[in-house]
Each structure stands twice: as structure tokens, then as C-alpha cells.
Amino acid sequence: MGQFQNQPDFATKAEALTSLPYTPEEPSAIYIGEKTDTAADASITVIMPGSTAQVVFKNVTTGFLPVVAATVHASTNINQNSIVLVR
């Protein structure tokens, strides 16, 4: 994804989660397409590049979560089939 010399400004690869935990081919941004319950709080647990600690992002909404994940461990109230990792 952009911000670096000689790289495009937009994502050029995407992969859908097949199961959790899930480790993409390369660290990737997270797109959440659908919550399972629109009234309930949603969360996603990831490990970010260069770390071994799990981080929980709470009260997430649909759309892009502005983080890069090396591994997606779990999600709550998010349709797992709607999570796409992009880079």
C-alpha cells in the first residue's frame, strides 16, 4: 500500500479470511464489510508487525480499520467472511 517510494497509492492485493486465527502472506490493512449485529459493539484482535502482543480494537465499525496486522486472531460481532486483508 502507498506511502513508500515506488509503491502504488492504492492496494494491489487482497485476501479474504478463511478461518481465525489467520496470518496473511504479508502484513495487511483490515477491511470489515459487515457486522453480525449492527446494534452490538464489535471488536477485532490482531498482532501488529514487529510485535508478539495481541491488541484488541473495540467498537469498530464497517470499513477500513486504519492499522496493519500481521495476524488476525479473533473477532466479535463481525461477519468473519466479510473481513478482507488488503495491501
Question: pLDDT tens, 19-76?
Answer: 999 999 999 999 999 999 988 999 999 999 999 999 999 999 999 999 999 999 999 9
Set of cell numbers at residue 65: 480499520
Q: How far apart are CA 25 and CA 59, in angstroms?
A: 27
Confidence of residue 12 (pLDDT cuts 50, 70, 90): confident
Q: How far apart are CA 16 and CA 22, in angstroms?
A: 10
Q: How far apart are CA 19 and CA 13, in angstroms?
A: 19
In a domain, 80, yes or no: yes
Q: Note down the domain range covering 62.
A: 14-86
Residue 2 in contact with residue 8, Cβ under 8 Å? yes
pLDDT value at residue 1: 47
In a domain, 5, yes or no: no
In a domain, 42, yes or no: yes
Q: How far apart are CA 87 and CA 72, in angstroms?
A: 15
- Over residues 71-84, the pLDDT tens digits come to 999 999 999 999 99
User: Total structural domains in the chain?
Assistant: 1
In a domain, 7, yes or no: no
